[in-house]
Amino acid sequence: MAKSPILEIKDLHAKAGDKEILRGINLTIYPGEVHAIMGPNGSGKSTLSQVIAGRDLYEATKGEIIYEGEDLLELDPEERAQKGIFLAFQYPVEIPGVSNLYFLKAALNAIRKQKGEPEVDAMEFFNLVRQKMSIMEMDESLLNRAVNTGFSGGEKKRNEIFQMAVLEPRLALLDETDSGLDIDALKVVSSGVNALRSPDRAILVITHYQRLLNHIVPDFVHVLAEGRIVKSGGKELALALEESGYAGLEEFAEIAR
């Protein structure tokens, strides 16, 4: 049975202010797949995830993003989230005075509302949350603390994946989820992500380093340079990059131009 893609990006160009950052991205992702995007600093990796999530600091100037057959660029960020797009932030944001639990419940109910489902009641929600917490080896006290406020770097990243576990997105974008994690935390976070791999869900992992991909093994690896995908391959591409570094990529970029 031929599956239809979750995400299709066609010749996407995007700029921040006057600066063009994405210069013609093409990428197709099917359900069940894990794609990794690698590339040097400034190549546009994070921008790509932000444009998919709908941050309006960036403007798509050309091309299109089709999500489950729908023109994504027409939707507000909250509509994209409600339809199943989840971005695990590179720098999760602190919201003082708003409890993690309250925040997550509001998010879950917004998503359920979009689907025409009733709001979760407190008991049901608490049970769901407890179950997901055990996967992330998270301390229950984090639930009643304010969103990301005073969390350590590791706690913040863990909290992102925990939110993902509760919200059960169709498409998850992980933006440098490995940055700032020590090896133990990296293992916990990666196993959390792996537990969320499923035939209905696609994951796009954005990372600077290969080490994350030892834990979250991708089906496809793409190399981004100067706003274009200059090389795609299987998981072995990541290993090759680890050896040669990004230096050799400049010429790919030249050729692609």
Partner 1 sequence: MPTEVSSIESLANQEYKWGFVTEIESETVPAGLNEDIIRLISKRKNEPEFMLEWRLKAYRHWLTMEEPTWANIHYPPIDYQKVIYYAAPKTKIDRPKSLEEVDPELLRTYEKLGIPLHERELLAGVAVDAVFDSVSVATTFKEKLGELGIIFCSFSEAVQEHPELVRKYLGTVVPSTDNFFAALNSAVFSDGSFCYIPKGVRCPMELSTYFRINAKDTGQFERTLIIADEGASVSYLEGCTAPMRDTNQLHAAVVELVALDNATIKYSTVQNWYPGDKEGKGGIYNFVTKRGKALGVNSKISWTQVETGSAITWKYPGCILMGDNSVGEFYSVALTNNYQQADTGTKMIHVGKNTRRTIVSKGISAGHGQNTYRGAVKILKGATGARNYSQCDSMLLGDKCGAHTFPYLEVKNTSSSIEHEASTSKIGEDQIFYCRQRGIPTEDAVNMIVNGFCKEVFRELPMEFAVEAQKLLGVSLEGSVG
What residue ranges bind partner 1 (CB under 8 A)? 53-57, 59, 76-78, 80-82, 86-87, 89, 92-98, 102-104, 106-107, 110-111, 114, 146, 163, 167
Q: Which CB sits closer to partner 1, 77 or 154?
A: 77
C-alpha to C-alpha distance for 62 and 55, rounded to whole angstroms: 16
The alpha-carbon radius of gyration of the chain (Å, integer) is: 18
Q: Which CB sits closer to partner 1, 117 or 250?
A: 117
Helix extents (H) in the chain:
45-53, 77-82, 100-114, 122-136, 141-144, 153-167, 183-195, 211-215, 235-244, 249-256
Burial of residue 29, with CB atoms counted within 10 A of its CB: 0-12 exposed, 13-18 middle, 19 or more buried? buried
Q: How far is the CB of 16 from partner 1 (least distance, A)?
A: 9
Classify residue 250 by its DSSP letter: H
Structure-token match 């790919």, residue found:
252
Q: How far is the CB of 109 from partner 1 (least distance, A)?
A: 9
Structure-token match 């089906």, residue found:
219
Strands 220-225 and 202-207: unpaired
Q: Which CB sits closer to partner 1, 69 or 96?
A: 96
Q: How far is the CB of 105 from partner 1 (least distance, A)?
A: 10
Q: How far is the CB of 70 from partner 1 (least distance, A)?
A: 16
Q: How far is the CB of 17 from partner 1 (least distance, A)?
A: 8
Q: Which CB sits closer to partner 1, 78 or 200?
A: 78
Q: Which CB sits closer to partner 1, 12 or 237?
A: 12
- Distances 26 to 77, 98, 116, 166, 225 between C-alpha atoms, Å: 21, 39, 33, 30, 13
Q: Which CB sits closer to partner 1, 111 or 185?
A: 111
Q: How far is the CB of 53 from partner 1 (least distance, A)?
A: 5
